[in-house]
Amino acid sequence: MTKPDTNKQNRKPNRLINEKSPYLLQHAYNPVNWSPWGEEAFAQAKAEDKPIFLSIGYSTCHWWQIHLLHSVETLRTLAL
């Protein structure tokens, strides 16, 4: 029997949940309000006067996984 993914059980998905890319889908349960690349993301950033935080991480890179663990997936860090 496989153990359920407890990390995702209590999390709501972000907008990436509707994407087809396996890379984007693996970030669909990050607590970051990610947007896929496109006009909607640019329009929202402009309307809210916020910069674009572009993730170009490569999912199999060890240091990218460490970055995710300590920043993107850590609610305490996101609160900063």
Instruction: Select the CATH number that applies to the domain covering 12-78 from these four: 3.40.50.720, 3.40.30.10, 3.40.50.1820, 3.90.226.10.
Output: 3.40.30.10
Take residue 71 and report the two structure tokens written for it: 């920043």
Take residue 10 and report the two structure tokens written for it: 């209590």
pLDDT of residue 1: 37
Examine the pLDDT at 35 and tell me if it is beyond 80: yes
**What is the spatial distance between Cα 46 and Cα 72, in angstroms, rounded to a whole number?**
22
Residue 48: which residues within 8 A CB-CB, separation 6 or more? Answer: none
CA atoms within 13 A on the CB side of 12: 5
Amino acid present at 48:
E
More confident: 72 or 22: 22
Average pLDDT over residues 21-45: 88
Confidence tier at 57 by pLDDT (50, 70, 90): low
Query: How do the domains of the chain map onto residue ranges?
Result: 12-78
Rounded percentage of the chain residues whose pLDDT exceeds 90: 22
More confident: 46 or 34: 46
3-class DSSP state for residue 37? Answer: coil
